[in-house]
C-alpha cells in the first residue's frame, strides 16, 4: 500500500513514528493509501530546514521570488487536472468541483506574483528639517499553516504562496484525510525553483499540530477548520507568543425577500447547499424565507433537489460525490433524524441514500428541511453536509434579527430586486462576507476572506491585504543626513520645527 510521506528540505522524508492514518477512496469505502504521522523530531527537522532557508530567502530579491512564483503558476496550470484527480480520489468531490478548487487557489498564487507592488513602502520627506520617515514591511521568519480536509489544495494555497512571496519560509500540516494534493503542491514548487526548505510539508495529527504551536522558531500560525479547534489553536499559539489567524466554522444564511426571482433563488440555494456535498465553510445551510415566499420556494428547491445526480467524483455525470468518511456520513444522517424529532418537516430525506455498485462508499443524499425550529440541532449546529434548513420570517426585520442572532458570522447572502433592501442588509448584517444575489460570496484573491464572531479567532483574515499584513511586520525608519552647517551640541528635547 502506498504511504504518503513528508516533504522536508526539498525532498520526501519517510515517517519514523510507526503511526499511520488511513486514506480512503470515499466513493468505494476502500482504504487506498496510508499517511505517515510525524514525530516531534520530524516537525523539528521541518522547522529547522525552514529556519535555515530563511537566512537567504528572507533577504532575496523580489525579482527572484516573483520569477519562481510565475514559474510555479505555469506548472500548476499544466498539472491542474492531475491535482484535481488527487482531490477527487481522496476527498470525493466531483472532478469539476476539484478543478474549480485548484483554480481558486491559483488566484492567490497570481496575487503573490504581484507582491512587488503590494510590498511598496511609504516615504514622507522633510517631516522636520532634513528629516525623512519611511515605513517598510519585512517578513516574520518561519510561519506555519494547518489546513482542513474539505479544500486540500485551495486552502494551503491561500497561505503559503503569499507567505513565501513576502519572504517567509513555511511549514504546512495538511489534513491527514486527503494529504496527497499538498505533497504534490510542494513537489511542483521545487520544480519551479523554490529553494530547499522554503516550503515543507509535515503529515500528521495532533502531535504535529501541537509541536508547531509550541515551537519557539515558528513565528505565526494560520488555521482553517472547525470552531472548537480554531479556539484551541488561538489559545495555544498565543500562549507561546505567536501571531495567529484561525478561521472557524459557519452556519451561513441566505435571506430571500418576497420580490426575489424564486427560480433563480432556488437554483442558487441548490448550488450553494449541495455543492461539494455541503462540505464547505461557505455553504448555505439555512434559507430564511420572508413573508409568503416559503411554500413556493421550498417546492422549487425540492423539485431540483430530487433530480440531482449523486455518484463517484470521477464519473462525469455526477453532480455530487460522497462525504469524506463513513463516520461523518453517519453523523450527518443523524441530524435528519433528530430534525424530524425536534419539529422540522423533512421535505426531502437523503439519509438512507446508496449508489448502485458503490454501496460501501460514503454516500448520502441531499436533505431539505422546512419550518425548522431555531432550537433544533439541525439549525444550531454546523452539519457540514448536504442538509439545507428552511426557516420562515414574517418580515425583513425579523429575518435580520434571526441571522444576527447566530453565533457564527462567516458568510451570508440576500436575494432581492430591491437595491435599498440590499444596501441596508449589507450594512446591518453581522457577517464578514456578504453576497447580494450571490450565494457563496468567497472574495477574489485581492480581497480578504474571513468571518466575524465564532467564525474567526485572531485579528486578520486570510489572503488579500490582510494576508500580506499577517505575514509581514512593519518597521518605521527616521533618517536625517545633517548638513555640515548643523554642527554643534544641543541637549534640548527634539522638536518638529
Three-state DSSP string of the chain: CEEECEEECCEEECCCCCCEEEEEECCCCEEEEEEECCCHHHHHHHHHHHHHHHHHHCCCCHHHHHHHHHHHHHHHHHCHHHHHHHHHHHHCCCHHHHHHHHHHHHHHHHHHHCHHHHCCCEEEEEEECCEEEEEEEEECCEEEEECCCCCCCHHHHHHHHHHHHCCCEEEEECCCCCCHHHHHHHHHHHHCCCCCCCEEECCCCHHHHHHHHHCCCEEEEEEECCHHHHHHHHHHHHHCCCEEEEECCCCEEEEECCCCCHHHHHHHHHHHHHHHHHCCCCCEEEEEEEHHHHHHHHHHHHHHHCCCCECCCCCCCCCECCCCCHHHHHHHHHHHHHHHHCCCEEEECCCCCCCCCCCCCCCCCCEEEECCCCCCHHHHCCCCCCEEEEEEECCHHHHHHHHHCCCEECEEEEECCCHHHHHHHHHHCCCCEEEECCCCCCCCCCCCECCEECCEECCCCECHHHHHHHCEEEEEEEEECCCHHHCCCCCCCCCCC
Binned at pLDDT 50, 70 and 90, residue 493 comes out as: confident
* CA nearest to 42, candidates 214, 203, 237: 203
Asked if residues 369 and 390 have their Cβ atoms less than 8 Å apart, the reply is yes
**Catalytic residue chosen out of the listed positions 112, 143, 270, 281:** 281
pTM: 0.95
Binned at pLDDT 50, 70 and 90, residue 488 comes out as: confident
Summarize the confidence of residues 296-322 as an average pLDDT: 97
Binned at pLDDT 50, 70 and 90, residue 497 comes out as: low
Rounded distance between C-alpha atoms, residue 231 and residue 228, angstroms: 5
Rounded distance between C-alpha atoms, residue 218 and residue 241, angstroms: 9
On the CB side of 473, CA atoms within 13 Å amount to 11
Q: All 3 cell numbers of residue 412?
A: 451570508
* Distance from chain centroid for Cα 415: 25
281 in catalytic set: yes
Q: What is the pLDDT of residues 96-120, one digit of tens each?
A: 999 999 999 999 999 999 999 999 9
Residue keyed to cell 479556539: 231
pLDDT of residue 52: 98
What value does the mean pLDDT of the chain take?
96
Binned at pLDDT 50, 70 and 90, residue 466 comes out as: very high
Summarize the confidence of residues 459-476 as an average pLDDT: 96
Asked if residues 285 and 273 have their Cβ atoms less than 8 Å apart, the reply is yes
Residues 6+ apart with CB under 8 A from 230: 223, 246, 247, 248, 249, 456, 457
In percent, the amount of the chain with pLDDT more than 90 equals 96
Q: Looking at the predicted structure, is the pLDDT value of residue 489 above 80? A: no
Rounded distance between C-alpha atoms, residue 369 and residue 73, angstroms: 42
Residues in the chain: 497
Rounded distance between C-alpha atoms, residue 95 and residue 87, angstroms: 8
Q: What is the pLDDT of residues 359-412, one digit of tens each?
A: 999 999 999 999 999 999 999 999 999 999 999 999 999 999 999 999 999 999
Asked if residues 32 and 23 have their Cβ atoms less than 8 Å apart, the reply is yes
Q: All 3 cell numbers of residue 373?
A: 425550529
Amino acid at each position: 500500500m502506498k504511504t504518503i510521506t513528508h516533504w522536508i528540505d526539498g525532498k520526501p522524508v519517510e515517517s519514523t513514528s510507526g503511526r499511520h492514518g488511513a486514506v480512503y477512496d470515499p466513493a468505494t469505502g476502500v482504504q487506498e493509501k496510508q499517511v505517515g504521522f510525524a514525530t516531534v523530531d520530524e516537525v523539528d527537522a521541518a522547522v529547522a530546514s525552514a529556519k535555515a532557508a530563511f537566512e537567504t530567502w528572507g533577504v532575496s530579491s523580489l525579482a527572484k521570488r516573483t520569477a519562481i512564483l510565475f514559474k510555479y503558476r505555469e506548472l500548476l496550470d499544466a498539472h491542474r487536472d492531475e491535482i484535481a484527480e488527487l482531490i477527487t480520489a481522496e476527498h470525493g468531490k466531483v472532478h469539476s468541483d476539484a478543478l474549480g478548487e485548484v483554480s481558486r487557489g491559483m488566484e492567490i498564487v497570481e496575487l503573490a506574483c504581484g507582491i512587488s507592488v503590494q510590498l511598496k513602502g511609504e516615504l514622507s520627506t522633510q517631516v522636520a528639517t532634513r528629516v525623512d520617515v519611511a515605513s517598510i514591511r519585512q517578513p516574520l521568519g518561519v510561519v506555519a499553516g494547518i489546513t482542513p480536509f474539505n479544500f486540500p489544495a485551495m486552502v494551503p494555497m491561500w497561505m503559503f504562496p503569499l507567505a513565501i512571496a513576502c519572504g517567509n519560509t513555511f511549514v504546512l500540516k495538511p489534513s491527514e484525510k486527503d494529504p496527497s494534493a499538498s505533497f504534490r503542491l510542494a513537489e511542483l514548487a521545487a520544480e519551479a525553483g523554490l529553494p530547499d526548505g522554503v516550503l515543507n510539508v509535515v503529515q500528521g495529527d495532533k502531535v504535529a499540530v501541537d509541536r508547531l504551536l509550541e515551537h519557539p522558531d515558528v513565528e505565526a500560525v494560520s488555521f482553517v477548520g472547525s470552531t472548537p479547534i480554531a479556539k484551541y489553536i488561538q489559545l495555544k499559539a498565543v500562549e507561546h507568543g505567536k501571531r495567529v489567524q484561525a478561521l472557524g466554522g459557519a452556519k451561513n444564511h441566505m435571506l430571500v425577500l418576497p420580490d426575489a426571482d424564486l427560480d433563480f433563488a432556488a437554483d442558487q440555494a441548490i448550488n450553494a447547499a449541495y455543492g461539494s456535498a455541503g462540505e464547505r465553510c461557505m455553504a448555505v445551510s439555512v434559507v430564511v424565507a420572508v413573508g409568503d415566499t416559503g411554500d413556493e420556494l421550498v417546492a422549487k428547491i425540492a423539485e431540483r433537489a430530487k433530480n440531482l445526480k449523486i455518484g463517484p467524483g470521477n464519473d462525469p455525470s455526477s453532480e455530487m460525490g460522497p462525504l469524506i468518511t463513513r463516520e461523518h456520513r453517519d453523523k450527518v444522517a443523524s441530524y435528519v433524524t433528530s430534525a424530524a424529532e425536534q419539529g422540522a418537516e423533512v421535505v426531502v430525506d437523503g439519509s438512507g441514500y446508496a449508489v448502485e455498485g458503490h454501496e460501501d462508499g460514503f454516500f448520502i443524499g441531499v436533505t431539505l428541511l422546512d419550518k425548522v425550529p431555531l432550537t433544533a440541532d439541525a439549525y444550531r449546529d454546523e452539519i457540514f453536509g448536504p442538509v439545507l434548513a428552511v426557516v420562515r420570517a414574517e418580515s425583513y426585520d425579523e429575518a435580520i434579527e434571526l441571522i444576527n442572532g447566530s453565533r457564527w458570522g462567516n458568510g451570508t447572502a440576500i436575494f432581492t430586486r430591491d437595491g435599498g433592501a440590499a444596501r441596508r442588509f449589507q450594512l446591518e448584517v453581522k457577517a464578514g462576507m456578504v453576497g447580494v444575489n450571490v450565494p457563496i460570496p468567497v472574495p477574489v484573491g485581492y480581497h480578504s476572506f474571513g468571518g466575524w464572531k465564532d467564525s474567526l479567532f485572531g485579528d486578520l483574515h486570510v489572503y488579500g491585504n490582510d494576508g500580506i499584513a499577517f505575514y509581514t511586520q512593519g518597521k518605521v525608519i527616521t533618517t536625517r543626513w545633517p548638513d555640515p552647517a548643523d554642527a554643534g551640541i544641543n541637549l534640548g528635547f527634539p522638536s518638529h520645527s
